[in-house]
């Protein structure tokens, strides 16, 4: 495929933008080559500056669960824009979306809108510290919670892709309050709790990590964390920026039947616009200013255009439960099809699936944590990624990312994806 326009744009971008991109994974550093510059998208497809068309499994890293340019969301945004882009004052839609979030995610009794997932997770940790009067928190290796200082320690996603899981600029003072444990390891959590008795404010986790590839929690793991936090007075925070409203109306906590004290949200609640949120038990959220002493603010929080997009998205998902049923069926078709291809080629790679999130790990080791994920052959994944592009399918440009399916995918699209995978694996393993 010709990508000369993307090559030219990337060269130009590097003169004015660090690394030529505004988010590191977009640079294709872990897969090689030049990033594609996208000029449009509709339904299940993205179109680059050279007019190459791709079936895509990124969906803006999750939020485009209904596909690109969904008419209801587009219409809501266009209507909102006519009333101005921002007020810096409260609007009725902020109440509407807050009430809907609380209805769809029962563990959330009150919610604060912010502008990104990073802002949501940073704020949630601060509130948990203010509520408990403690400083330390537990983070799970390979779980990515945005680029806040406290979280860039054994992070997944772009941090490990760029080779800086412990980012320069994070002070020793910040790092000492972040306690690390492997995913799916209850004993490690118990050890940290015993060594830091009465000092731990929170445990934050992606209940289903999507930033070290897609990793599924072992049976009983999340409930064990809930039990430990209850016993020790620790605030359990589920980072559902990816999984919230994607795996189910109530997110991963609904799927696994485990209730956190606080939840961070993003992606889908903006319908494609930049939005995040954090919420939880009323007694915890009452610590947030102006109701309480923990300060957090944002000029563009609750932006009217973003609220219009997010409210329309959540209303659609709330009134169309068949979206989740259909996505799960298509996820099963895709994962089953991939496994058949791997079996036919006698390739020992791992396929993980949960709802509309899918991943292939280029390793023969079952992936249960970050260390397992790092056994993957990233060189083969890079070859596979570019072969998929050549066959008209756009995947996340990193082994350490989940694939995200949209409701716009048809049976014909799924067949095309599986055909591309079949051909691309032959190239990857040469």
Beta carbons of 97 and 90 less than 8 angstroms apart: no
The one catalytic residue in 267, 278, 324, 394 is 267
17 exposed, middle or buried (CB, 10 Å; 0-12, 13-18, 19+)?
exposed
Residue 144 falls in the annotated catalytic set: yes
Assigned token pair, 413: 């699209």
Is 372 noted as a catalytic residue in this protein?
no
Active site residue 239: yes
d(CA 349, CA 403): 16
Q: Which position among 45, 54, 131, 144 bears the catalytic label?
A: 144
Q: In what order do the strands lie in the sheet with 235-239?
A: 110-114, 276-280, 262-265, 235-239, 200-205, 136-140, 178-181
Neighbours of 124 (CB within 10 A): 30
Parallel, antiparallel or unpaired: strands 276-280 and 262-265: antiparallel
Q: How far apart are CA 362 and CA 312, in angstroms?
A: 38
Please, is 282 exposed, middle or buried when counting C-beta atoms within 10 Å of its C-beta (0-12, 13-18, 19+)?
A: exposed
Residue environment code for 77-104, b if the CB has 16+ CB neighbours within 10 A, otherwise e: beebeeeeeeeeeebebbebbbebbeeb
Structure-block tokens of residue 39: 């000029």
Contact 308, 93 (CB under 8 A): yes
Q: Which of 45, 136, 239, 400 is catalytic?
A: 239
Instruction: For 159-217, give the DSSP string.
Output: HHHTT-SS-TT--HHHHTTEEEE-TT-HHHHHHHHHHTTTTEEEEEE-SS--SSS--PP
Q: What is d(CA 240, CA 252) in angstroms, rounded to the nearest whole number?
A: 7
Catalytic sites, residue numbers: 144, 239, 267
């Amino acid at each position: 495929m010709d990508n000369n326009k993307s090559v030219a744009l990337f060269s130009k971008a590097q003169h004015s933008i660090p690394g030529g991109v505004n988010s590191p994974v977009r640079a294709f550093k872990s897969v090689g080559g030049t990033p594609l510059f996208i000029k449009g998208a509709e339904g299940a497809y993205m179109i680059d500056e050279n007019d190459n068309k791709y079936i895509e499994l990124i969906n803006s890293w999750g939020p485009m669960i209904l596909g690109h340019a969904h008419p209801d969301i587009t219409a809501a945004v266009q209507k909102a824009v006519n009333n101005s882009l921002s007020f810096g004052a409260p609007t009725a839609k902020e109440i509407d979306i807050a009430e809907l979030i609380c209805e769809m995610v029962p563990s959330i009794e009150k919610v604060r809108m912010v502008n990104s997932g990073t802002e949501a997770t940073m704020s949630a940790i601060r509130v948990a510290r203010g509520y408990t009067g403690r400083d330390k928190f537990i983070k799970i290796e390979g779980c990515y919670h945005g680029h806040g200082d406290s979280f860039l320690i054994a992070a997944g996603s772009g941090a490990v892709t760029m080779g800086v899981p412990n980012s320069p600029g994070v002070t020793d003072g910040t790092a000492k309050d972040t306690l690390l444990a492997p995913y799916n390891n209850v004993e490690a959590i118990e050890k940290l709790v015993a060594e830091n008795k009465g000092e731990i404010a929170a445990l934050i986790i992606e209940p289903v990590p999507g930033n070290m590839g897609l990793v599924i929690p072992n049976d009983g793991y999340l409930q064990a964390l809930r039990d430990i936090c209850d016993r020790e007075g620790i605030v359990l925070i589920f980072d559902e920026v990816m999984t919230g409203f994607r795996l189910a109306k109530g997110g991963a906590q609904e799927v696994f039947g485990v209730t956190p004290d606080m939840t961070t949200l993003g992606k889908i609640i903006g319908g494609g616009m930049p939005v995040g949120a954090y919420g939880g038990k009323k007694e915890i959220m009452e610590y947030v200013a102006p109701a309480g002493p923990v300060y957090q603010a944002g000029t563009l929080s609750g932006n009217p255009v973003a609220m219009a997009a997010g409210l329309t998205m959540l209303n659609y998902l709330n009134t169309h439960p068949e979206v989740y049923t259909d996505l799960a069926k298509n996820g099963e078709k895709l994962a089953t099809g991939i496994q058949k291809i791997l079996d036919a080629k006698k390739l020992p790679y791992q396929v993980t699936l949960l709802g509309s999130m899918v991943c292939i790990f280029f390793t023969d080791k079952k992936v249960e944590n970050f260390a397992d994920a790092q056994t993957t052959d990233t060189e083969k994944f890079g070859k596979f990624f570019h072969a998929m592009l050549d066959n008209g399918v756009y995947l996340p440009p990193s082994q350490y990312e989940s694939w995200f399916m949209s409701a716009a995918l048809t049976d014909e699209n799924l067949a095309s994806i599986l055909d591309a995978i079949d051909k691309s694996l032959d190239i990857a393993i040469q």
